[in-house]
Amino acid sequence: MAAKGRSLTAFPDPILSATWGELGAVRRNANLDGKLHAEVRLGYPLNGLEEDYKRAVSDWVGEDTTLDLEFRAPQARGIPGVKNIIAVASGKGGVGKSTTAVNLALALDRLGARCGILDADIYGPSQGIMLGVAEGRRPEVRDEKFFVPIKAHGIEAMSMSMLVSDRTPMVWRGPMVSGALRQLLEQSAWGDLDYLVVDMPPGTGDVQLTLSQSVPVGGAIIVTTPQDIALADARKGIEMFSKVNIPILGIVENMSYFVCDGCGQRHHLFGAGGGARVAEEYGVGLLGALPLTARIREQADGGRPTVASDPNSDAARTYMDCARRAAASLWRTVASQAPPTAIRMDDA
């Protein structure tokens, strides 16, 4: 056990490279009857971490501790019914961005946050299919103005695919696409969400600019593969978000490796370490690396994404880790902009 006397405010957060004091996490810190009693509020979902954190804190302060842990999502500038908006983007298509987005949204829900997903890919909406929403099912309309998002696998969802037929092409010019996105954003009756995950179309065009100019986006997650051409486009995506002052929460490397059924070894079909190199280049975190496997694709195509249908799999656990790290990164960004929190300390 650690030497007695180390401050709880100096405790290094297990996910972020910052102390709980720097993050403003310690709400109350009191020594009563020879025991430390503390209330700590963290800005990322905590399901599955509570007992580990309590043991780690007791070891850190070196005395018996009663720790009350609470999750509260940061209240960034959002939209009605939404505290934080997280964009999931890629510089190019075909890297598994939409599959990643829906699994991250489901992971945030499973970790203890209220979450929704908005499909901002107007030309190629896919979230209705991935969430298993029956073709022809339409959102209810409230007060003749607002769409009520459809609930699927525990999260709220809105997509152009829920408003038109799967076979209806969006033969629209840029202004019409931007108008449709604004309508989905502003006329959806979200239900008090901690996070709204926005599945962006690939590239750096009209939808990206409309989103950044229409609503306050808390941060962006960049999805890429290790392939050099995908990494080049990922850099463009990072640069684009930088120009509109949207912080990068981290990078997810998809199709990172393939595990051979015969030998059980990992094979890096598209190169190795590309996502980590780009993350280091821009000073952001690598949230996680997902394998290339038919199972992830089949589950998404079948309307039961991995986190919902196979929650104990290695892939689902990776999505959960990615989601928690992204939420933590968002909290750190918001906390760095907020005034320091007063800590109440009592001695008895």
The domain locations on the chain are 8-72, 82-335
Does residue 254 or residue 174 have the better pLDDT? 254
pLDDT surpasses 70 at 343: no
Residue whose token pair is 């009563």: 32
d(Cα 233, Cα 245) in Å, to the nearest integer?
A: 19
Q: Which CATH class is domain 8-72?
A: alpha beta
**3-state DSSP call for residue 151?**
strand
CATH numeric code, 82-335: 3.40.50.300
Q: For residue 337, what pLDDT is reported?
A: 72
Does residue 341 or residue 219 have the better pLDDT? 219
Per DSSP, 149 falls in state P
pLDDT surpasses 60 at 344: no
Beta strands in the chain (DSSP E): 26-32, 35-42, 65-71, 82-89, 115-119, 140-142, 146-148, 150-152, 155-159, 193-199, 219-224, 248-253, 258-259, 266-267, 286-289, 344-347
Can you give the pTM of this predicted structure?
0.90
Does residue 184 or residue 104 have the better pLDDT? 104
pLDDT surpasses 80 at 53: yes
Does residue 182 or residue 108 have the better pLDDT? 108
pLDDT surpasses 70 at 204: no
Does residue 242 or residue 287 have the better pLDDT? 287
Element (H, E) at 243: helix 228-243
Which percentage of the chain shows pLDDT scores above 90? 53
Q: For residue 165, what pLDDT is reported?
A: 60
User: Per-residue confidence at 176, pLDDT binned at 50, 70, 90?
Assistant: confident
Dump pLDDT digits (tens) for 1-45.
Answer: 344 568 899 999 999 989 999 999 999 888 877 788 899 999 999
Phi first, then psi: give them for residue 161, nearest 5 degrees.
-65, -15
| Residue type for position 130 | M
Q: For residue 334, what pLDDT is reported?
A: 87
Q: Tabulate helix, strand, coil % of the chain (nearest 5).
A: 35, 25, 40
User: Per-residue confidence at 92, pLDDT binned at 50, 70, 90?
Assistant: confident
Strands across the sheet containing 286-289: 150-152, 155-159, 115-119, 193-199, 82-89, 219-224, 248-253, 286-289
Q: What is the mean pLDDT of residues 93-111?
A: 94
Phi first, then psi: give them for residue 317, nearest 5 degrees.
-65, -35
d(Cα 65, Cα 303) in Å, to the nearest integer?
A: 45
Does residue 91 or residue 251 have the better pLDDT? 251
pLDDT surpasses 60 at 171: no
- Please give the mean pLDDT across all residues of the chain: 87
Q: Is 214 exposed, middle or buried (0-12, 13-18, 19+ CB in 10 A)?
A: middle
Least confident segment among 60-64, 169-173, 264-268 = 169-173
Q: What is the mean pLDDT of residues 132-138?
A: 89
Per DSSP, 188 falls in state B
**Can you give the length of the chain in residues?**
348
Q: For residue 342, what pLDDT is reported?
A: 46
